[in-house]
Amino acid sequence: MTLPVRSRVTAMAAVLSAAGLAAALAQAPDGEAILRRVDENIGSDNKVTTSQMTIHARRGSRSVRSKSWIEGRTKSFTEYLDPPREKGTKMLKLDDQLWTYTPSSDRTILISGHMLRQPVMGSDLSYEDVMEDQRLVALYRADVIGEAKVGDRPCWVLELTSRREEVAYHRRKIWVDKEREVVLREERFAKSGKLLKTTEVQRVERIKDRWVSTRVVFKDALKEGQGTEFVLEAIEFNASIPDHLFTKASLR
């Protein structure tokens, strides 16, 4: 039996591309090594950031500005600056605990249990998402499953599988910029395989010898709306942050 010329060419191309992919994957660095470098790039320095979150919900869009003081991966203090209704609201994260303070009620509330799954300021990010403080490599096993381009950037495609049951997302798929080693796209899945959240990095900038994602769109796949656009307005690395900021007393 002989195949028509066109079919033979197609079959040969498929074999070659499969072989090429196999060869490329054979040359690909270890997934865990890539993930480790992603973790390192995200960094654990002290930093002070000012950012704006624009939430594109079904009823329209609204923006929330905030300033955050971050020490390592386990301590952060955020104060909301705008809009007026949210102004003065503060959040303190210490290890695995998260408190919020609202000036109108003068109450400090521990966010726990099912409240952790609630959206932060109505955005597509949950408190659980902002609580994630461990390195990805500590939470997930990583395998390189392919290569792809995000925009014009060549990326490694990694599949992350949780090492522990209590992790919020059982599986993740991330697209890591081969050169800059930042995540440009991400999909987060439940244990059932259902897509829960997506992330699209729209802008990456070089700031103080680091590649920093400065414009990111988060989308809760279970919600209607156009997602939440996060814009990093300013970032200061290795900032001096007074210790008292990371205490409950500083919330009031």
Work out whether 86 is an interface residue with another protein (CB under 8 A).
yes
Work out whether 119 is an interface residue with another protein (CB under 8 A).
yes
Q: What is the 3-state secondary structure (H, E, C) of 70-111?
A: EECCCEEEEEEEECCCCCCCEEEEECCEEEEEECCCCEEEEE
Beta carbon nearer to another protein, 57 or 150? 57
List 79's β-bridge partners, or say none.
Answer: 67, 90
Q: How far is the CB of 233 from another protein (least distance, A)?
A: 20
| Phi/psi at 68 (5° precision) | -125, 140
CA distances from 195 to 155, 173, 211, 223, 242 (A): 21, 10, 27, 12, 40
CB within 8 Å of 20: residues ≥ 6 apart: none
| Phi/psi at 245 (5° precision) | -65, -30
Given candidates 36, 37, 62, 67, which one binds another protein under the rule CB under 8 A? Answer: 62
Work out whether 152 is an interface residue with another protein (CB under 8 A).
no
Q: Candidates 24-32, 111-119, 135-143, 205-213 — which segment interacts with another protein by CB under 8 A?
A: 111-119
CB 123 within 8 A of CB 53: yes
Q: Which of 201, 178, 198 is nearest to 188 (CA)?
A: 198
Work out whether 23 is an interface residue with another protein (CB under 8 A).
no
Beta carbon nearer to another protein, 214 or 228? 228
Work out whether 55 is an interface residue with another protein (CB under 8 A).
yes
Work out whether 146 is an interface residue with another protein (CB under 8 A).
no
Work out whether 115 is an interface residue with another protein (CB under 8 A).
yes
Q: How far is the CB of 229 from another protein (least distance, A)?
A: 15
Q: How far is the CB of 124 from another protein (least distance, A)?
A: 10
Q: Candidates 116-124, 130-138, 175-183, 185-193 — which segment interacts with another protein by CB under 8 A?
A: 116-124
* CB neighbour burial string for 14-46, b if at least 16 within 10 angstroms, e if fewer: eeeeeeeeeeeeeebeebbebbbebbebbbeeb
Q: Which of 196, 198, 159, 193 is nearest to 176 (CA)?
A: 159
Tokens of 153: 């950037």
Site string for another protein, 120-139 (x = CB under 8 A): xxxx----------------
Given candidates 5, 6, 26, 104, which one binds another protein under the rule CB under 8 A? Answer: 104
Beta carbon nearer to another protein, 106 or 243? 106
Q: Candidates 28-36, 114-122, 186-194, 202-210 — which segment interacts with another protein by CB under 8 A?
A: 114-122
Pairing of β 90-94 and β 195-207: unpaired
Q: How far is the CB of 6 from another protein (least distance, A)?
A: 50
Which residue ranges make up the site for another protein (CB under 8 A)? 55, 57-59, 62, 85-86, 89, 100, 102, 104-110, 115, 118-123
